[in-house]
Structures are given as C-alpha cells and as structure tokens.
Amino acid sequence: MPILTLIPHFSERPWGGSALTAYGAPSGVPIGEAWVVAAHPNGVSVVESATGIGQETIGLGLDQVWENHRHVFGDLPGERFPLLTKIIDANDWLSLQLHPNDAQAPAGDLGKAECWYVIGAEPGAQLVHGITESDLEAAKIRILQSDFDGFFVYHDVHVGDFFDVPTGLVHGIGPGIQILETQQNSDTTYRLYDWDRPGLDGQLRPLHLQESADCVRTDVPHGTTTPTVSTQDGFERRHYVTNAHFGVDVWHVSGETTVERPHPQLIIVSVVSGSITIDDGDGPVSLVVGQSAVIGAHPEPLHLDGAGEVVVSWPVQ
C-alpha cells in the first residue's frame, strides 16, 4: 500500500506571519496556517506523489482519496478522514478560544480535540493553556461577563515543548511561535477574546461567549506533557498522548532502523527537522524538513533511514 506525499493548503490569518513561505506559502500576505494533511471543506491538501497503488491518487484532494479510494487505508471506516495536521505560524496573538467536543459541536461537524508540538519559539514567547478559575460555574459566569482580569494561565514556550489541548480547555498561541498541530478533522472554534483586533475584512471578528461558557472545562491540567520514552539502535520514540481520537509520537531517527507501525491502516508523518527515508514495503520515500505524508495500510513494519525528527500521528478507532 502507498505512501502519499501532499501539497499543503494555506490559510491567511490576521495574526499570520511569513515563516510558512518555507513550506510553499505565498509571500506578501499573512499566512497563519499550512494545512499539511487536510481533508476538510475549508481546506484540502493534494496528493503530489505516491508509491504502490497510491499512484492512482496523484493530483487528487485527500478528501477524494478518502471518499473514492478507501482501499488505500484498508477500508478504514468513517464518514470523513479522521485527522487534520497543521503548521501554525503566529506573528501575533491568536484569539483566546476553546473547542467543543463531539456532542457539543454544530450539526454536521466534529469536536476539536488537538495537541501542539512546538517547532519554533522566539526568546520570551508565551502561550495560554488553561484558566486560573477552578470552579466551573464561576468560570462560566466570568466568560459571559468578559471578566478576564487574571483569568488566563500563561506559559513560557521552548522548542520541543508539547501541549495537549483537550476540548473545553481555554488556549491561545502567542507571537513568535510555530507549532505542529494534530487535531480532529474539524474547524469549529469558539472565541472568548480576540484582543479587540480587526479581521482581514477590517471588522472585529465575532466572539462566542455563550458557546464558550457552555463548553468550558476546569478539570484538565495545564502545561506541558511529559512523554513516555523508548529507544532502540538509531531510534527514539517519545509517546505524548493517546485519547479517544488520536495518538501522537515524536520519533528521533539517527541511522537505519525498523519499527512497528502504531496503526495498521493509517499513519501521518511530518518531518520537523533533518531528513528521513521511509519504506513501508512498497519502496522508499525520502522526506525533508517541512514535508508530510500519509502512510496507508500495509502489513510490513516501517524501515527508516536518515537523521531527523518526525511527528507521527494515527487515528484511534
């Protein structure tokens, strides 16, 4: 089965910067997000190259591959491709926001659990991850009243930090930060506060105070996640999270090694430093920093070679 490399979809944002030109983004406009593995109505990545039977998908959007070539993923069930991977470049503060779970999401959409791996951070960079209010009812009231003095928890950020962002957790990314985000395949965001800043159309973007109050949680931990680490010759696996929707590792490759697949039908890989060659049994594919690929169903383990750091994710189904 194939390894599909993808062309990202780029999204302009009022807080975006210029770092994503290294991923092929247009210059001269504030590009905030590269949707590097995406099959959502608001953004689709396109298959650039493929091995094995995946060659029939070259030039197709990932949504079309999921809909019409499901055998590539071993006929994995589901109405939509399960995950979405982004590279985010924050040149200014993103809105302070949260996301609903599946039951709270608008009709026809999913919830949006997500997580962040920091791949760039300027000195002094910060983000918001959590709130100071531990009482749920008090938190709801403060959101409805926009009573945000001392409400948000700020964290210093360094390259290599990992933040789990479950649904209902208030969060926001600050300037000077680039992250790789793994999330459910959703684009539903509820804004609590947007810095009184106009959007791309010159108007203030809408806030969602009632929706935020309905979804906010105070029972989730703040701060970075410590991984479980395992090693073998030429390979280190840092496992950060497994939840009801996805699992996420960071792999450090230094040489040649063979590793077991974390999922038999669908794996997403994004190279964040160095370069790596992956062979899933249908032939090698070389990826350099900034490239992402989707690995389809195959019984063989993965053969890796090179020197680099790779964020690896898979659906939990």
d(CA 122, CA 178): 9
SS3 of 217-284: CCCCCCCCCCCEEEEECCEEEEEEEECCCEEEEEEEEEEEEEECCCCCCCEEEEEEEEEEEEECCCCE
- Annotated catalytic residue within 142, 191, 237, 261: 191
Which residues does 254 contact at the CB level (< 8 Å), separation at least 6? Answer: 234, 235, 307
d(CA 52, CA 282): 6
Q: How far is CA 60 from the centre of its chain?
A: 22
d(CA 178, CA 239): 20
Which residues does 173 contact at the CB level (< 8 Å), separation at least 6? Answer: 88, 90, 93, 94, 116, 127, 179
Q: How far is CA 182 from CA 210, 264, 288, 311, in A?
A: 26, 19, 19, 9
d(CA 241, CA 4): 24
Provide the 3-class DSSP secondary structure of residue 215.
helix
Identify whether 13 is a catalytic site residue.
Answer: no
Q: Which two tokens stand for residue 3?
A: 């390894």
The torsion angles phi and psi of 289, rounded to 5 degrees, stand at: -55, 135
Catalytic residues: 191
